[in-house]
Each structure stands twice: as C-alpha cells, then as structure tokens.
Structure 1
Amino acid sequence: MPAENPVLTAIRERRSIRRYSDDPVSREEIEAILEAGRWAPSGLNHQAWRFLVLRRDDPRRAALAGLTKYAHILERAQVLICVFLARSEMYHPMKDHQGAGACLQNMLLAAHSLGLGAVWIGEIVNQEPRVTEVLGLNPVDLEMQAVVALGHPDQKGSADRKPLSALLLEDIS
C-alpha cells in the first residue's frame, strides 16, 4: 500500500479499541463521526440508517450494557452510538445491511482520524427486541445494527491479517 495515502494509511492503522480513558468526547467529535456515517454509500441513496447517541450520564446505558457479554466495554466508553435501520426506508435487506456496514466503517475510520478509539459491537443484535425496548424505541420502526463504543484510547490496538494471497480466489493478472 502506498505509504503517503492518508485514506489507505487510516484503513491499515485503525484498530478496535475496547478500553477508554476518562477524557470526555466533544460534541464536535461526535458530530464529525455521525457525519462520516451519514456519507456512506447506500442502495438507491435511501440512507436508511438512524443514530441514537448515549453519553455517560444517560440512564439507558446500564440497561443496554446488560444485554451484551461486552457490558464492560459499553460501561467504560464515553459515548455509545446505537445504529439502526429505519424499516420504512429499507428496500432490500442485504443491500441495506451492506450500507449499514459501510456507515459503521466510516464512523470507525472517522473516530480513528480524530485520535479516538472505537469498537463495533455487533453481538448485541442477538438481543434486538430487548435493545429497542430498553432504549424506548419502536422495534416496528427500527432494526438494530450495532453499537459503536468510543472514547479516548486507554490501550494500543493490535490485529493480524491473513495474507492477500490466502483470500484471492484467483491470482491477480
């Protein structure tokens, strides 16, 4: 990968961060992350994603954390961004879910670019009906996609990747 390309560098260097300091995340940083999500590609440009931001003082956080085996991450994060799809805006389940994934990746890259740490908590969708209930949302209107936990990193991330050759179905000619 070209070392001087900031987008490719950010993709390569971004890591899932699961421990955070007590330093607050500013409203401007949260808005920048949400804007990055908003600009993700979506099928037919429906932009079906919807966001719910929970700060540390939001009483719904404890109930939300109780619905995942990753409660310790949600409890320690400065901010949680709950990502949903508006069912009325969806037109094709697979394409809308792919768009939500692009939205989430944009937000993770934005957080990284701002010097913040974040992790995509997808396991929580196993409790989708209870999630919408504890958040006071209508499950008929919204489909849970993930929670992004974020804050100032209190750890270094690490990750390995398989070599590209192990992922190719055919050699690049």
Structure 2
Amino acid sequence: MTHSDNPVIAALRERRSIRKYTDKPVSREDLTTILEAGRWAPSGLNNQPWRFMVIAKGDPRHEKLAECTKYAHIVRNSAACIAVVLEKEAMYSEMKDHQGAGACIQNMLLAIHALGLGGVWLGQIVNDQAASLGAIGLDEKEYELQAVIALGHPAQDGSPKRKELSELMLETF
C-alpha cells in the first residue's frame, strides 16, 4: 500500500469544512460514533478533560446557540451541534489541555467525514464564553467552551484550497 492509498491519509486530505446541510437528521448511532472518535483523542497525562453536549435541531438550546455567533445561519441549518468544553477541574495544563481539545475536535471532524456527513469547526462562538455556555445551560466557572461542531448531511462540497507545503516550511529538510 502506498501512502496515497492509506485510508487515514486519504481521510486527512479529503475532509472539508461543510457549512450547508440537508434537512435529514443525523442518527443517534452516527452521533455516538462521532463522540467515540473524540473520546479516543490523545491528552496530556491521559486526563481527557473534554466533555461533550449534543444539541439537536428542535432543541430550544439550538436556536439560543445560534444567537451566540455571527455564523448563526450555519448553526440553524445544522441537524445537530456538538459543544466541546473543557471541565476546568479536570485540567492540569492549560496549553496541553487546549491542544488535546483540538485533537479531540479533529478526531470528530474526521469521523463526520468518514460517515459521509459534513461538519464545520465553529471557533468564533468561544469569544463570549458566558453567553455561549449560558445558551446550553453550563456555568463558565466549571467549563470552558473550546468549539462547537455544526454537522449534518452535506448540501455542498467543501473547498480544497491549501497553501503549498513549501510556504509553511521554516526551512527545507
């Protein structure tokens, strides 16, 4: 098997941010698979400080969450959103726990892609922690919102644009 034939490498290259969805709901089985993918992400000291909340379309918190971001149209159009938070008491190193949350979110995005679904990492929503956490009934003294993943059955293709590797290298090897 060549590197390009490897299914993990292929998934990394093919995954896209999808911001438009059909009206079809996402199954509980698919949501569980996505959450399990997040659960298996690496974390410093294996402390796994992340916690998840699934907010499906139709839940009043779905609309409240939409009101917390300039990307409200994406949230409103999604079949569900997954709030990824860090439980503050479970954290041991702010930087390492934030890095672990990023790995957790990426695992979930890859699972979404692998299931034939579409999703997008909404980061701007974390700018107002009190409002965003309040919208889903969580206390900012206990939790720190890392991102909201909006997801659903894709109604668009994503953009494959990436900088060339040479533009990202600080020196050649």
Tell me how far apart the structure 1 counterparts of residues 134 and 149 of structure 2 sit (CA, whole Å): 19
Q: Percent identity?
A: 58
Q: Note the C-alpha offset of 1:23.
A: 1.2
- Whichever residue aligns with residue 162 of structure 1, its letter is K
Which residue does 2:87 correspond to in 1? Answer: 86
Which residue does 1:25 correspond to in 2? Answer: 26
Q: Note the C-alpha offset of 1:165.
A: 1.2
Which residue does 1:118 correspond to in 2? Answer: 119
Q: Which moved more, 1:134-143 or 1:40-49?
A: 134-143
SS in 1 for 2:159: coil
SS in 2 for 1:149: strand
Tell me how far apart the structure 2 counterparts of residues 41 and 2 of structure 1 sit (CA, whole Å): 23
Q: Deviations over 1:43-82 (max 9, x none)?
A: 1100000001001111011111011000000000001000
Query: Does 2:65 match 1:52?
Result: no
Runs of 5+ unmatched residues, structure 2 = none
Q: Note the C-alpha offset of 1:13.
A: 0.4
Query: Does 2:100 match 1:137?
Result: no
Runs of 5+ unmatched residues, structure 1 = none
Which residue does 1:149 correspond to in 2? Answer: 150
- Whichever residue aligns with residue 12 of structure 1, its letter is R
Superposition RMSD in Å: 0.9
Q: Note the C-alpha offset of 1:2.
A: 2.3
Tell me how far apart the structure 2 counterparts of residues 135 and 164 of structure 1 sit (CA, whole Å): 39
- Whichever residue aligns with residue 65 of structure 1, its letter is A
User: TM-score, normalising length from structure 1?
Assistant: 0.97
Tell me how far apart the structure 2 counterparts of residues 85 and 111 of structure 1 sit (CA, whole Å): 21
- Whichever residue aligns with residue 141 of structure 1, its letter is E
Size of the aligned set, in residue pairs, is 172
Tell me how far apart the structure 2 counterparts of residues 165 and 156 of structure 1 sit (CA, whole Å): 26
Tell me how far apart the structure 2 counterparts of residues 89 and 120 of structure 1 sit (CA, whole Å): 23
SS in 2 for 1:130: helix
Tell me how far apart the structure 1 counterparts of residues 168 and 135 of structure 2 sit (CA, whole Å): 40
- Whichever residue aligns with residue 78 of structure 1, its letter is A
Tell me how far apart the structure 2 counterparts of residues 123 and 106 of structure 1 sit (CA, whole Å): 20
Which residue does 1:43 correspond to in 2? Answer: 44
**Paired residues for 1:69-80 under 5 Å:** 69-80=70-81
Q: Which moved more, 1:145-154 or 1:135-144?
A: 135-144
Which residue does 2:165 correspond to in 1? Answer: 164
Query: Does 2:110 match 1:109?
Result: yes
